[in-house]
Amino acid sequence: MVLFENRSPSEKIRILLVEEQHTEELFLNNLLGQIEGLDYELTWCRTTAKALRALSYDASFDIVITEYWLSEQGDDDFISEAKTLSPSAQIIVISSEMDSTIGSSLIKAGVTDYLVKNGLDALALERALRYALNIRDAHLKLSFRDHYDKLTGLVNRTLFYDRLLHAMQRAERSRQKVVLLTINLDKFKYINDCYGREAGDTAICVAAERLQSCVRKSDTLARNNGDEFAVILEGVSNESDVLRMVEQISEQLAKPYTIPGDQLHLGCSIGVAFYPSAGVNPEALLRAANLAMGHAKRTPGCSHCFYTEELSTKATNQLILEAEFRRALRRNEFRLMFQPRVDIVSGEIVGMEGLIRWQHPSRGLLSPDEFIPLAEETGLVVTMGYWVIHQACLALKYLQEQGHFVRIAVNLSFRQFQDKKLRETVARIIKKTQVDASYLEFELTETAVMANEQETRRCMDEISKLGVHFSLDDFGTGYSSFAHIQGLPITSLKIDKSFVENSAACDEDAVIVKAIINLAHNLNMKVIAEGVENFAQLVLLRDHKCDQVQGYFYHKAMSFENVCQRLVQQDSQKESVLA
């Protein structure tokens, strides 16, 4: 009779024997050898501690056979630990004596079957093995559905949490460390949005395979949610071992992802947290690892961050800042400053950029770098953005009533540009303020323009019909090209200040600046140079026929009242020249 007929010929039944006496191991091995058709692999451990260690390094055992008195030493603990380390493994207990009370308690503890040693033969052992393997097969089907991710086959969040809890309990007893890695694929939403969910699923599966190639058999690799993975490391002695694995993961995930018709590069962010220093329970450790991962996300490309107390303090301060930020929106604590844009030939103010500041009640005037990332994370950047547009329109209306027809540009964030109510809200603001919208300009980053080219064109066309102009901000720092932008209703390009800064001293940057100006002019676009701070930069830009400049050489950001004064002075100077 062939045991467990559904198993493939090359697939051995893996049995872990927990037995102190070598003679008993020989006896059981002899019985196993008598079972017709049984192809097995036996691993022998003298103690439950060694057995648990074996299970922690290799959870693929089919059956665990243990003496009752050995299991009794750890009582239900050994059974519970064994089931946690290898949920599909079936436990058979052998005892010299057995009564219904003991048998019932063993079954309740998670044992599949129990045998009495006296009179034990190959037939009885075969029966127990058959029963255990049938139970295992049924368990695997149910367990996969409940504890494994359907797409990747990895451990899901439920089983991951359970394994993390038991890993921490083992570490507490052995006074060892547990390391938790949380891994997030950067720009994954871009794949789903631009190439569809099927392409996103393909990328997830590829990432899962690459992660599996990096972890050890004893590690737990899980897919927790969407594009987030987690790894539980046990038996790690120092940070350098963890760092090597993190670097290996980064290297693997940095490789290109092939999807139909294209190859894409995705960054990854990895958070690392150690038990018990970063957290004494699963929730705290996971929170610490996620916090470190969030910090890593601020660095482009594949990056990682180890959790520290300093990060925790920053996170607490961030929560406080978020609450204050929400209050600031209600209390009108934001201010719109203006940095003039100057015609490079006449030196006159022909436009300005609206720049938001936060007049914090205790910290003073905060620059955008101190709160814009928070606004992006919380989604409040959309509400704040509409406030900026409204303030810019009010300023424009006042200037136009005073006879000053200059353009005001405001930044449109990526998240705001994705808002479905953008066109409707902008139209309502323009109507309410009764402003000439041809003097309103929205600055978009290359990221926003390239996210979804077809949708971007549709949205820009709709807003352009309101009279609003568009400019491309920080040109040269992203992935767009003139081929992509020439079909969009963009009227001007802003050369990023990083090129302007070194243009006078670096020939390569000067060539780039000249090329951008020439190409933009060929597409009938005006060119505005940001960050002009000295005369040498101005001369170079003037020689290359740049249209407008913006920077400290002429004006810093100033209040609206000061802008009005400058414009009045400018008009007065014009009149005196004409007179």
pLDDT by residue (tens digit) across 66-112?
A: 987 654 445 467 888 888 888 888 999 998 777 777 778 888 888 99
Give pLDDT, residue 338.
97
pLDDT at 54 over 60: yes
Under DSSP, the state recorded for 121 is: -
- For 381, other C-beta atoms within 10 Å of its C-beta total 22
Give pLDDT, residue 36.
87
Give pLDDT, residue 138.
83
Higher pLDDT: 146 or 572? It is: 572
Enumerate the domain spans of the chain: 13-147, 157-307, 321-445+452-568
Confidence of residue 578 (pLDDT cuts 50, 70, 90): low
Give pLDDT, residue 2.
44
pLDDT at 59 over 90: no
Give pLDDT, residue 351.
96
Listed in sequence order, the residues at least 6 apart from 573 whose beta carbon sits closer than 8 Å to its beta carbon are none
Take residue 44 and report the two structure tokens written for it. 């022998």
Helix axes 507-522, 535-543, angle to 10 degrees: 40
Would the CATH topology of 13-147 be identical to that of 157-307? no
pLDDT at 264 over 50: yes
Q: What share of residues in the chain are helix, strand, coil (percent, to 5)?
A: 50, 20, 30
CA distance 267 to 301: 4
Where b means 16+ CB within 10 Å and e means fewer, 34-66 reads: ebeebebebbbbeebbebbbbbbeebebbbbbb
pLDDT at 23 over 50: yes
Instruction: Report the mean per-residue pLDDT for the chain.
Output: 88
Query: Which CATH architecture group holds 321-445+452-568?
Result: Alpha-Beta Barrel (3.20)
Taking only the tens place, the pLDDT of each residue in 387-401 is 999 999 999 999 999
13-147 has which fold? Rossmann fold (3.40.50)
Confidence of residue 10 (pLDDT cuts 50, 70, 90): low
Q: What is the mean pLDDT of residues 42-57?
A: 90
Q: Which of 256-265, 293-302, 473-482 has the lowest mean pLDDT?
A: 473-482
Taking only the tens place, the pLDDT of each residue in 399-415 is 999 999 999 999 998 88
pLDDT at 480 over 70: no
pTM of the model: 0.56
Q: What is the mean pLDDT of residues 338-358?
A: 96
CATH classification (class only), 157-307: alpha beta
Going by C-alpha positions, the residue among 274, 267, 269, 268 that lies closest to residue 307 is 274
Confidence of residue 6 (pLDDT cuts 50, 70, 90): low
Q: What is the mean pLDDT of residues 201-212?
A: 94
Range among 170-179, 425-434, 451-460 with highest mean pLDDT value: 425-434
Range among 63-72, 133-142, 337-346, 483-492 with highest mean pLDDT value: 337-346
